[in-house]
């Protein structure tokens, strides 16, 4: 499994980097989103700043043949509370993301322009 990081504020437009799990080995879903946000996002940053990160992660068993394992978690520092918040949903996105070998997608940085971007993973 790997983490896909997309730096939206990179020079020349978004930059994509894949990395191993490293210190996040053994985490998935809600645990992974919260671990990344708590370790990598400064606690005093503004939630809408480029220092915040949006983390999308399938659960640990997503992508397996286990029943009811297709849960995906989305977490970041909340603009409403200023704390780490997470939401999750069921369905195919978690299954597909996990089968592609991704433990998480991390959107970081703030775009330099108001251009609209689409993340397409196949």
Is the pLDDT confidence value at 115 over 90? no
Considering just the CA atoms, what is the radius of gyration of the chain in Å? 14
- Give the predicted TM-score (pTM) of the model: 0.89
DSSP 99: H
Is the pLDDT confidence value at 52 over 90? yes
pLDDT at 119: 85
Comparing CA positions, the residue from 15, 22, 28 lying closest to residue 55 is 28
Q: Which domains does the chain have, with CATH numbers?
A: 2-108 (3.60.9.10)
Compute how many other C-beta atoms are within 10 angstroms of the C-beta atom of residue 44: 7
Is the pLDDT confidence value at 120 over 90? no
Q: What b/e string do you get for 73-108 counting C-beta neighbours within 10 Å, with b at 16 or more? A: bbbbbeeeeeebbbebeeeeebbbbbeeebbbbbbb
Mean of the pLDDT values across residues 69-77? Answer: 91
pLDDT at 4: 96
Is the pLDDT confidence value at 64 over 80? no
Is the pLDDT confidence value at 53 over 80? yes
* Of the listed ranges 24-38, 52-66, 94-108, the one predicted with least confidence: 52-66
Q: Which residues contact 58 (CB under 8 A, 6 or more apart)?
A: 28, 29, 70, 71, 72, 73, 93, 94, 95, 97, 98, 102, 103
The model's pLDDT over 3-15, given as tens digits with 9 standing for 90+, comes to 999 999 898 889 9
């Amino acid at each position: 499994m790997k983490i896909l990081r997309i730096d939206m504020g990179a020079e020349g437009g978004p930059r994509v980097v894949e990395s191993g799990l490293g210190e996040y080995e053994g985490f998935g879903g809600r645990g992974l989103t919260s671990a990344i946000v708590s370790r990598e996002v400064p606690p005093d940053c503004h939630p809408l700043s480029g220092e915040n990160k949006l983390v999308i992660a399938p659960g640990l068993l997503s992508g397996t043949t286990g029943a009811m394992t297709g849960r995906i978690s989305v977490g970041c520092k909340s603009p409403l509370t200023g704390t780490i918040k997470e939401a999750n949903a069921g369905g195919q996105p978690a299954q597909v993301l996990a089968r592609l070998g991704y433990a998480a997608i991390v959107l970081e940085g703030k775009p330099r322009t108001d251009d609209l971007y689409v993340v397409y993973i196949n």
